[in-house]
A = this chain, B = another copy of it.
Amino acid sequence: MKQLEERIARDGRVIGTEILKVDSFLNHQMDIALLDEIGKELYRLFKDRGITKVITIEASGIAIAVSAARCFNVPAVFAKKARSLNIGKDVYKARVHSFTYDNDYDITMSQNYLSASDTVLIVDDFLANGAALNGMISICEQAGAKIGGIGICIEKGFQPGGDEIRKKGYPLESLAIIESMDENGIVFRKQ
């Protein structure tokens, strides 16, 4: 997605060779016009898949899920990062490893809002090692829901998550894939 790549190149901040901050427009401050275009592009890519629900994980996926769900005219649901209270027994649950914090956490989703009759579009802001995405795939499997598509805004192509998930046969599309980056700039994978 040309517009997203250009925005990353212009406003993203590269720290070292692995960290990309896009918090001026995507996951802290959010540019709504860009979110709308991301929603439209995800709709263009997956509109023929019979999507009935868009899911993501709190927090930074929520704006993207809402923007996509508007185009598909379906509800969005976000998985919660589990805390100790107010989590009923009627939830799907998956363990996710955080490479940032080097710990594990659970994500949960109420069983009321995902079932075997759903065809899901999974969305998120970043894909690197695939830990969060594999958690969402697990939740879909627990529900018996079909995965109609996976739409990622920014894939770190130099980390293994994206290629591993493609090898498993999931319909993954990343709107921008970074091959490499450093203080001199960002190289995007040609798509």
Interface residues of A (CB under 8 A from B): 23-24, 28-32, 35-36, 58-59, 62-63, 65-67, 69-70, 73-78, 80, 83-86, 100-101, 109-110, 112-113
Contacts and interface: CB of A to CB of B under 8 A. Distances in A.
Contacts of A109: 28
A77 B101 CA distance: 23
Contacts of A30: 65-66, 69, 75-78
Nearest to A81: B59
A115 to B, nearest CB: 12
A75 B29 contact: yes
A101 B62 CA distance: 23
B77 A110 contact: no
Given A85-B100, A100-B85, A101-B83, A75 B28 contact: no
A190 B70 CA distance: 31
A66 B35 contact: yes
Contacts of A77: 28-30
